[in-house]
Structure 1
Amino acid sequence: MRKGAVVFRDYLTELPLIAILRGLKPDEAETVGLVLAEAGFRIIEVPLNSPDPFRSIEILAKKLPAEVLVGAGTVLEPAMVDGVHDVGGKLIVMPHADPEVIRRAKEQRLYCTPGVATPTEAFAALKAGADAIKIFPAEAIPPAVVKAWRAVLPRETLVLPVGGIKPDTMKGYVDAGANGFGLGSALFSPGLSVEEIGRNARAFASAWRDLRRG
């Protein structure tokens, strides 16, 4: 990661894959976080509808290497932003594009990636201060649509499809202009062993690197 002021884009440089740990429990947070960091992941989010999510975020923020960005997903209200900030989280990920939540994240100097499903929402989110846009749900927004969005969005916009992404479905989105992905149940789901999570993480990392070499 480059020296000087760190921007959200810097965390996407080596491996632009966001680990979404929905259902993570605090007692497994450190172990799961470390296996993801070892696989090269530099962004981890714990959705706030997980068990005791603020405790998990606090553990991850304290125990993982400084170069790993830790934050929350499924952030629905401005007050939730304050809770994430208070436990050391630095990233706000949303399923929607509520400008009040985005503005609160920026007031707290947190990175913010709102979810959008139309160009109208994307432009409104960027105007409110979003650091990137989360195309959600990606299952309903195929690469051809992402390519059309790319033609009108500001060139520097970071575009991250989320929802149903697997190692073998990334290429179409990358060809259409995606900058990275949010990864859910194909990477982590409650009940998976640490070994299984590690294998999934390495498979995604390998698939991404193969795309870059191609």
Structure 2
Amino acid sequence: MVSPVGWPELKYPLVAILRGVQPDEVEAIGDVLVEAGFEAIEVPLNSPDPLVSIERLAKRHGERILIGAGTVLSAADCAAVADAGGRLMVSPNVDPEVLAMAVARGMVTLPGVMSPTEALLALRCGASALKFFPASVLGPSGISAVRAILPKGTRVAAVGGVSNENFADYVAAGISIFGLGTNLYKPGRTTEEMATTAAAAIKAYDKAIGR
């Protein structure tokens, strides 16, 4: 039996969500993110030619940082991401078949949850960490309430509505992983603009944790 992969210890546990990124720009954007300090990049599967982008990022940065996909909704898609070199599987929901495939392929997993039922099911299926999504609905206090019933040591992420301005609130609630979407990247944003937003996110996270 294959054991699930745990969430790795990252200096900056910030997942850059590149929804809508084009394959011909993804390497330059990846370079900017890595230079800023990001250690995880997700290309949602509803982006243009996402597997091409994932493959290019994995070849360029896959040995140093986590590269993978978001919006993974089927076991077949999960396998395709792994075949492209992706090591990170992020989903908006808890699907036991998807998680089983990801575990079998040795991937780091971050399934989306909202309730204690979903959270505990995801852990039973081998989730590396739990993605509370959309985090803005529960807020720090709601996520903290669910965390109270989770096994000790469970890593929790907040995605959806997280920004540089509210990192500290989520950190205070025990959240240790963050997915950054439109506050970090929007289609059409230049590498210069990405360098600015990436640096600002890193600075805000450092401030939130008192580093």
Name the TM-score class by shorter chain.
over 0.9
Report the Cα distance in structure 2 between the residues aligned to 1:104 and 1:20, rounded to whole angstroms.
Answer: 22
1:142 is aligned, of 118, 139, 143, to: 139
Report the Cα distance in structure 2 between the residues aligned to 1:174 and 1:135, rounded to whole angstroms.
Answer: 14
2:164 is aligned, of 164, 167, 188, to: 167
Report the Cα distance in structure 1 between the residues aligned to 2:116 and 2:201, rounded to whole angstroms.
Answer: 28
Superposition CA RMSD, Å: 1.2
- Does the 8 A contact of 1:70 with 1:91 survive in 2? yes
TM-score, reference length from structure 1: 0.94
Q: Percent identity?
A: 47
2:127 is aligned, of 126, 130, 133, to: 130
Secondary structure at the residue paired with 1:182? strand
Segments of 5+ residues of structure 2 without an aligned counterpart are none
Report the Cα distance in structure 2 between the residues aligned to 1:35 and 1:99, rounded to whole angstroms.
Answer: 35
Report the Cα distance in structure 1 between the residues aligned to 2:83 and 2:24, rounded to whole angstroms.
Answer: 20
Is 1:97 aligned to 2:94, yes or no? yes
- Does the 8 A contact of 2:62 with 2:85 survive in 1? no
TM-score, reference length from structure 2: 0.95
Is 1:198 aligned to 2:191, yes or no? no
1:186 is aligned, of 180, 183, 186, to: 183
Give the Å deviation of 1:169.
1.0
Secondary structure at the residue paired with 2:102? helix
Instruction: Note closer, same or farther for the CA distance 1:65–1:97 as it changes in structure 2 (3 Å cut).
Output: closer
Task: Give runs of aligned pairs for residues 22-171 of structure 1, distance below 5 A.
Answer: 22-64=19-61, 66-171=63-168
- Does the 8 A contact of 1:30 with 1:64 survive in 2? no
Instruction: Note closer, same or farther for the CA distance 1:121–1:7 as it changes in structure 2 (3 Å cut).
Output: closer
Secondary structure at the residue paired with 1:147? helix
Segments of 5+ residues of structure 1 without an aligned counterpart are 1-5
- Does the 8 A contact of 2:43 with 2:54 survive in 1? yes
Report the Cα distance in structure 2 between the residues aligned to 1:146 and 1:164, rounded to whole angstroms.
Answer: 13
Report the Cα distance in structure 2 between the residues aligned to 1:88 and 1:64, rounded to whole angstroms.
Answer: 10
Report the Cα distance in structure 1 between the residues aligned to 2:194 and 2:120, rounded to whole angstroms.
Answer: 35
Give the Å deviation of 1:63.
1.0
Tell which has more relative contact order, 1 or 2 (C-alpha 8 A, sep 6+). 2
Is 1:8 aligned to 2:10, yes or no? no
Report the Cα distance in structure 1 between the residues aligned to 2:190 and 2:81, rounded to whole angstroms.
Answer: 27
